[in-house]
Homo-oligomer: A and B are copies of this chain.
Amino acid sequence: MTAPSAARELAHPAREGIRLEAVLHALSDPLRLGLVRDLDAAQSELSCSHFDLPVTKSTTTHHFRVLRESGVVRQVYRGTAKMNVLRRDDLDALFPGLLDSILAAARAQEDRRAADCRPPRARQG
């Protein structure tokens, strides 16, 4: 007899409440940066359980909360799942180009890492 799903609202900062320092801090953790990369690539909302992370469920909850409270993602409950989307519109409005250049930087770094571990004959295959 509770209001339908009103009990499971999640607190998000308003667009104007999003702080650059908090965003940079949220993205400075490798695991969280990976989540954001995946969310960006997916172009759709993903549940927390979609990700196969090397940490426990409660640590996963912690990381998603950091992303939500810093304004990087928006989270909503959908049945028993909690769905996550990048707050691209808000971030682009506040900090034009920031998210894209960070994601591009992450890709560039990943590409260099892959190139360094290139197998001996890879160049000629």
Supplied contacts A21-B28, A22-B28, A24-B25, 16 more A-B pairs, CB within 8 Å: A19-B109, A21-B33, A24-B24, A24-B28, A24-B102, A25-B28, A94-B108, A94-B109, A95-B104, A96-B101, A96-B105, A97-B104, A98-B101, A98-B104, A100-B101, A101-B101
Contacts of A101 in B (CB 8 A): 95-98, 100-102
Known: A28-B21, A33-B21. A104 touches B96 (CB 8 A): yes
A9 sits at the interface (CB 8 A): no
| Closest B residue to A108 using CB positions | B95
Copies of this subunit: 2
Q: Interface residues of A toward B: which range?
A: 20 to 34
Chain A at the B interface: mostly helix, strand, loop or mixed?
Answer: helix
Contacts of A24 in B (CB 8 A): 24-25, 27-28, 33, 102
| Closest B residue to A110 using CB positions | B20
Please give the residue numbers on chain A whose beta carbons come within 8 Å of chain B beta carbons, in ascending order.
16, 19-22, 24-25, 27-30, 33, 94-98, 100-102, 104-106, 108-109, 112
